[in-house]
Chains A and B, each alone.
Chain A
């Protein structure tokens, strides 16, 4: 097991560049709008709670103001945003998500004497998800022929991870440059970094 993640770039925040040439109006507008999560409109309250717990398990965020993920995934389902692909072995996204959230909840209950996924602590949730990813199912009927690992990786992990790592807080913790328009970068090789980039990371010996 990996210990809790600690950023190699403490103190670096891509939002500090908000008023610099790294940001343009379009980016500021988009990011400003995202500070207000959309209302819950598609998933039921119970399913939304499972989704929120899922996001918290995939992306633990021990920070004062965690990046909101679940409301945006829910809104994407409400808007039928799509991804361009529906694997034939999967139902359409708007059916797959409710089905999959119920199935994850059923797996949790099968593992933990009827306690639902959202009511488990993170370590227990993690174990339930690892079993699902390995297709070791305790509530196979709940999946109704939907391939569990495919749902977990192609929809759950991918959409949660892609959304999270598009947000400024995630960019900051990995030392990514963040928004860069109209100003991009000048120093392209390892000999130097631009003053508006993250300073070099603090790497532990074990990382190097």
Chain B
């Protein structure tokens, strides 16, 4: 928030760059583009807090519809071509490193796992896996008998998946083996690397489908983006701009359409008036607290920061925090189980080449009647390609190995391959975000994150480890090692049809405060068994259209 993490472009972490009518030109090494600015005293149509998957899409589409928009982000506004190094330690500057307090029976790891702090949000460091929900998951209670229904129809979401996939020129296969027919992906699939071919061989041996993973990095030139260079460093930021992150797609689009971006601007409080409605936000930027007036405030800070901000904005009229009269804010937080199996191979796989997850298997997302399926929900899994530091952390965390044992295990890095799930977890009200009794350097109470897996979650994990072990063995892997982890965040401020059990309606509008909105992954009522980025993006595009339609209607 105040201290530079990185050595390169440390000033981007201390001094705002989107100032004086200019924003960084993300396709240049040091250039700028013109940016409209709004006076703080002017009541803008929309203040949006968070420039990740939810906020960036919403900002672009609302600005394109002629609305005045100011988009805030707590993190820096990077220029990837000159600011990003091929260095894991340096690139920790992309993560939300200020601690959250983590407790519960299965306390989760935050930071690099799931939380970005930069304009572009987690898409700056995501691994670009671009999958859609299975249609039935939008009505998992009604159709599959578990968890809860979304207040949204799958066919509507399907339309918006296509919209955002096209906007990001997702590279994917011509024929995708699972789910209803979808149109062709805008860009051709990438050549699958050896780590992905391991998954393919295993899938063929076990008689299940596999596919080249639809990825959010271009396989051919697009505008100023070159095709993917297969550096394999997607998790620490793409330094060539092949990755179609929010930072180089929807954010520039928002600026072109007249939105203002305020980087290094930590919103600490949503202000409300006598009537209880939102009037704007207080934010910390350039060493001082400031205030922006707005007709509407949209929270897009993801599943920890959005509920934290609502709870931190309590007033006498909203004593439990904003939008929280039913006590649902922060509840039903979900993660994805991220369990993995790793094995040694005869050949050098060299999994560091190419995006880390170039092949995927969604078999267990679409099978309902297999006799071995002893759990609700589903999981996908992908081939893996962790960077050395990341993999060393996985090994030591799982085994406690060190010394020559660790050096020897890491010495086999080039001969390793792995399979890792994105496993659906069940929403549970006691898995939640509350406020800790300690504060961050700005004096804002930190988030406390409480999490425990359900019995169903554990059965799913066990099933996946057994299945992936079988598959990795069939592909030639030996000395298999199982590890457990989590990834992604979903829920915390679920949308729904029932004001008693959800935080917002189907368009992200708070049940309590009609000009307070949410537009991020915290809206998700269920987690699904796929990476959430495309679903958050599609939902944001849908909400944007709904807001524009409501205004024009």
Contact = CB atoms under 8 A, between A and B. Distances in A.
B230 A26 contact: no
B413 A188 contact: no
Contact of A87 (B5, B92, B103, B191): B103
Contacts of A59: 402-403, 406-407
B404 A185 contact: no
Given A84-B115, A185-B354, A162 B82 contact: no
Contact of B413 (A2, A24, A174): A174
B272 interface: no
A190 B194 contact: yes
19 contacts: A2-B403, A27-B85, A33-B7, A59-B407, A81-B5, A83-B99, A88-B107, A89-B107, A92-B99, A153-B397, A154-B397, A162-B89, A170-B388, A173-B407, A184-B228, A184-B353, A189-B197, A193-B348, A201-B348
Given A87-B102, A179-B87, A208-B346, A171 B388 contact: yes
A208 B476 CA distance: 12
Interface string A137-178: 000000000000100111001100111111000110111111
B393 A84 contact: no
A68 interface: no
Contact of A184 (B3, B99, B108, B229): B229
B98 A84 contact: yes
What is the interface residue range for chain B against chain A? 35 or more
Contact of A165 (B98, B113, B391, B414): B391
A180 B404 CA distance: 28
A162 B3 contact: no
Contact of B232 (A26, A126, A185): A185
A122 B239 CA distance: 41
Contacts of B7: 29-30, 33-34
B486 to A, nearest CB: 11
A84 B400 contact: no
Q: Is the interface of B mostly helix, strand, loop or mixed?
A: loop
A162 B390 contact: yes
B397 A163 contact: no
Given A29-B8, A165-B410, A84 B112 contact: yes
Contact of A166 (B89, B230, B231, B412): B89
Interface of B: 3, 5-9, 82-90, 92, 95-103, 107-113, 115, 191-194, 197, 228-233, 239-240, 346-350, 352-354, 387-393, 395-397, 400, 402-408, 410-415, 448
Interface of A: 1-5, 7-8, 23-27, 29-31, 33-34, 57-60, 72, 79-89, 92-93, 122, 126, 129, 133, 149, 152-154, 157-158, 161-166, 170-171, 173-190, 193, 197-198, 200-201, 203, 207-208
B102 A2 contact: no
A162 B88 contact: yes
A188 B86 contact: no
Contact of B230 (A60, A186, A203): A186
Contacts of B86: 23-24, 26-27, 178-181
Given A57-B402, A162-B392, A173-B411, A188 B191 contact: yes
A86 B400 contact: no
B386 to A, nearest CB: 10
Nearest to A80: B3
B239 A182 contact: yes
Q: Is the interface of A mostly helix, strand, loop or mixed?
A: loop
A26 B85 contact: yes
B102 to A, nearest CB: 5
Contacts of A208: 346
Nearest to B86: A179
Given A27-B86, A79-B3, A58 B403 contact: yes
Contacts of B352: 176-177
A121 B367 CA distance: 56
Given A5-B407, A181-B86, A185-B230, 20 more contacts: A2-B405, A4-B404, A26-B86, A27-B87, A29-B85, A58-B403, A60-B404, A82-B99, A84-B112, A87-B102, A162-B88, A165-B389, A165-B410, A175-B348, A177-B352, A181-B231, A184-B240, A187-B353, A188-B191, A188-B193
Contacts of A88: 101-103, 107, 448
Contact of A85 (B3, B99, B403): B99
Given A85-B110, A92-B99, A181-B239, A174 B410 contact: yes
Contacts of A4: 404
